[in-house]
Structure 1
């Protein structure tokens, strides 16, 4: 049962203030006045309206700063319906009152009336209140107060909503067993879910396509790779399932001919055409013939050779020039020619030749 909210009367508040200030001892409640009448709770009341009787057998104990557990007993044969209460101090002052429309309790002539209530106050005053008799006090048990506690059923323990009931070992075991079954079921469902997920994942495959090879299902680690073409495969140009690397490209070009910087010579890949270049550096001041031998003879023939005059300094009067004739696969003859008799000079020539 939730605590019922009492209203402290004006006279009761005065007594409480005196007790809190140290002017008097803590206030002591010695009796409870009861009534069958519902009344308006007001701080100006000095007695319980329609008071039926007062019960002196009353006990109480503070269970928190704002709540007191109170117990009263009536062993008479009186018959009544309890709708209102009033707490009286040792000097007869009405300290606090409470009332409601529905009966708090119905007493018949053969019944023993034991009233146990949790009385709540708006402010922290419970510690300032004492009771005249504590011989039959039955406060609710808590972490800090010894008292009476109700036992929780298995359903209440499973619900976990009641903060006041306690659990016996048997009930606790039953709750743990139910919880264990739920946990086992949840773990089985979780394991089945993981198994299904792993089965779905391992059923998938990853395989290479195009130049990529390797792969398989996901039950193990897989390696995908791309095969590299060798220099010979690159030069042959017949396969489409391997990749050309920089090393393979240079090797293939070398096998096809490629560039030979030491000559210099370049074979055009995929063709029989060979390109060679060279230079002649010498001071020439008269007409003469300069035979040129190719560093490497063309296998079949030279189909074009061209020299161009070289001068070592800027000049518009050095007018010796070079002509070519007698071209063979091994070389050609370069002829220095003078256009006139003035300042005939050249410092050599460069040449370029094509053959196969």
Structure 2
């Protein structure tokens, strides 16, 4: 997340801007300085009152003709409350200063990578009079937040896809088991039908045999009776 700052433009910074624009060039912001003194900045400043560290710009972009986004990577052993911020041109001139008499901007921890991100308003300067000189060495950390957000979205989508795939595979397995059970049931029904058909045939054969035996017996009785007469 960026911190919006409305800094005090210094007279030295204005002079450097004038010298650059008069020759058709743009002044280049190249470094961010951090200090521990809290006060109300003034235009006569040429340095921070209590500068502790100074970092090269690692990235940035122009948001408008008078608003620029700057980032820098703080990764050294210094530890202090940041109460003043200076923006330096490539020739070392202090272009602008931010500070507050009673409030700290943030805390800089020792040996912890900290991404400094500032939206710098330059409404007091001519439009498009300042550009950014960046050092790509800190680019990876500068991009960490957006890349992490993109990675989170991608991982979430991948996880959702895996879960859906697992659900589909589980459903497919259940359908396969159900299909096998239905096939087994149909086989049993067919076997029962065949068994019933066989028993029915056997019963008909037995009935027919019994009927034939009865008829034969009746014929025998009739024949015997005729002989006796």
Same fold, TM-score > 0.5, yes or no: yes
Which structure shows the higher strand fraction? 1
Tell me the TM-score normalised to structure 2 length: 0.55
Q: Is the alpha carbon distance of 1:54 and 1:126 closer, same or farther for their aligned partners in structure 2, counting shifts above 3 Å?
A: farther
- Distance in 2 (CA, whole Å) between partners of 1:74 and 1:39 is 23
Deviations 1:173-227 (A, max 9, x none): xxxxxxxxxxxxxxxxxxxxxxxxxxxxxxxxxxxxxxxxxxxxxxxxxxxxxxx
> Which residue of the partner structure matches residue 86 of structure 2?
86
Q: How many residues align?
A: 144
Question: Does the 8 A contact of 1:59 with 1:72 survive in 2?
Answer: yes
- Distance in 2 (CA, whole Å) between partners of 1:32 and 1:2 is 14
Deviation at 1:150, TM superposition (A): 11
Deviation at 1:115, TM superposition (A): 0.4
Structure 1 vs Structure 2 CA RMSD: 2.8
Deviations 1:267-314 (A, max 9, x none): xxxxxxxxxxxxxxxxxxxxxxxxxxxxxxxxxxxxxxxxxxxxxxxx
> Which residue of the partner structure matches residue 98 of structure 2?
98
Q: Gaps (5+ residues) in structure 2?
A: 150-156, 158-229
Q: Gaps (5+ residues) in structure 1?
A: 140-146, 152-169, 171-356
Deviation at 1:133, TM superposition (A): 1.2
Q: Is the alpha carbon distance of 1:34 and 1:8 closer, same or farther for their aligned partners in structure 2, counting shifts above 3 Å?
A: same
Question: Does the 8 A contact of 1:29 with 1:129 survive in 2?
Answer: yes
Tell me the TM-score normalised to structure 1 length: 0.37
Deviation at 1:36, TM superposition (A): 1.0
Question: Does the 8 A contact of 2:38 with 2:104 survive in 1?
Answer: no
Question: Does the 8 A contact of 2:53 with 2:78 survive in 1?
Answer: no
Deviation at 1:25, TM superposition (A): 2.4
> Which residue of the partner structure matches residue 21 of structure 2?
20
> Which residue of the partner structure matches residue 60 of structure 1?
60
Kindly name which structure, 1 or 2, has the bigger radius of gyration based on alpha carbons. 1
3-state SS, counterpart of residue 3 of structure 1: strand
> Which residue of the partner structure matches residue 130 of structure 1?
131
> Which residue of the partner structure matches residue 256 of structure 1?
none
Question: Does the 8 A contact of 1:7 with 1:121 survive in 2?
Answer: no
3-state SS, counterpart of residue 54 of structure 2: strand
Question: Does the 8 A contact of 2:57 with 2:135 survive in 1?
Answer: no
Q: Is the alpha carbon distance of 1:33 and 1:2 closer, same or farther for their aligned partners in structure 2, counting shifts above 3 Å?
A: closer
- Distance in 2 (CA, whole Å) between partners of 1:97 and 1:150 is 32
> Which residue of the partner structure matches residue 213 of structure 2?
none
Deviation at 1:5, TM superposition (A): 0.2
- Distance in 1 (CA, whole Å) between partners of 2:3 and 2:117 is 12
Runs of 4+ in 1 over 3 A off after TM superposition: 123-126, 147-151
State yes or no: 1:8 paired with 2:9: yes
State yes or no: 1:70 paired with 2:85: no
Question: Does the 8 A contact of 1:11 with 1:95 survive in 2?
Answer: yes
Deviation at 1:86, TM superposition (A): 0.8
Deviation at 1:13, TM superposition (A): 0.6
Deviations 1:217-251 (A, max 9, x none): xxxxxxxxxxxxxxxxxxxxxxxxxxxxxxxxxxx
Deviations 1:82-140 (A, max 9, x none): 1111111122111111112322221222421210111112246462222221532959x
